Amino acid sequence: MRRWITVPMALVLAAAATAAVPAAASAATRSAAVAECSTDWGSLPKYDRTPGSNQLVDVRTGATPCYDRIVLDVPGASAAHPLGYQVQYVDTLLQQASGNPIPVNGGAIIEIVVTAASYDHTAGKPSYPGRAGEPLHGVDLGGYRTFTDTRFAGSFEGYTQIGLGVRARLPFRVFQLDNRVVVDVAHGWGATS
């Protein structure tokens, strides 16, 4: 009889210990997410002066719990062949070729310039279907916390310029991966974002 009491009691204790593991893991996951949102990116201009001769072929966006992301796809860019860029906050987005202002909605504007044309001179056609002053082709910002607007400013002498509207002047980072340049804009200034 004693054996029948011991076995069910052991099963109850094992079940209770197993139930506690997801709760502890969940708390650890939440803690890691808060730590991940901590940022020291700042909001000062970021740039790489490397010249380039690549072509922009696509622009896409995504969101995480901590930041919104815009990705510029530029085949051929890599650590061995980095792409030049300049990313900075501006008061007004001024088109490089003409100096004309391009309206961008949001509390702040980030200007993104990459050393990649949006036109393929060899093929004689655009490599990216952007139109100056228009929202970025194929980009829908519905549901984003930080991004409010995008505008294609054009391509001029091997440089492509994009305006990114954000809700406020927030920290951002820029980095390169093979075939792309990535700009992340944080949802806030600290771990409680």
Q: Return per-residue pLDDT of the chain as tens, 193 residues.
A: 444 444 444 444 444 444 444 444 344 444 444 456 767 899 999 999 888 778 999 999 999 999 999 999 999 988 788 899 999 999 999 999 899 999 999 999 999 999 999 998 888 888 999 999 999 999 999 999 999 999 999 999 989 999 999 999 999 999 999 999 999 999 998 754 4
Give the pLDDT confidence score for residue 179 in this predicted structure: 95
pTM for the whole thing? Answer: 0.80
Give the pLDDT confidence score for residue 36 in this predicted structure: 65
Q: Which is nearest to 133 in space by CA: 94, 87, 159, 168?
A: 94
Give the pLDDT confidence score for residue 191 in this predicted structure: 54
Give the pLDDT confidence score for residue 25 in this predicted structure: 39
The contacts of residue 125 (CB under 8 Å, 6+ apart) are 119
Q: Classify residue 159 by burial, with Cβ atoms within 10 Å: 0-12, 13-18, 19+.
A: buried
